[in-house]
Amino acid sequence: MIRTMMQAFRRVGASVHKLSQVVSEEVPGTLSSLKLSAREINELTRQLAKLRQKISATDQHGEWKQSQNQ
């Protein structure tokens, strides 16, 4: 029984080691991709906000509606 438990612990130890290797290889790249995506989304959000402000300012002065009617 003790021998069986020792073998099971060795297998668990080997599995944990393999898992930690995979995690250390894969997670940094995944985190970098997520950070880059977040930056790109933030930049797009800023650009859309600026565009919305330009459209609102143009619409308030009536220029947008006049150009649409021509």
- Model confidence pLDDT, tens digit, residues 2-54: 899 999 999 999 999 999 999 999 888 998 999 999 999 999 999 999 999 98
Instruction: Tell me what pLDDT residue 57 has.
Output: 84
- Model confidence pLDDT, tens digit, residues 52-70: 998 888 777 665 555 555 4
**CA 45 → CA 17, 22, 52, 54, distances in Å?**
42, 34, 10, 14
Q: What per-residue string of b and e applies to 25-41 under the rule 16 or more CB within 10 Å gives b?
A: eeeeeeeeeeeeeeeee
Domain boundaries, the chain: 2-69
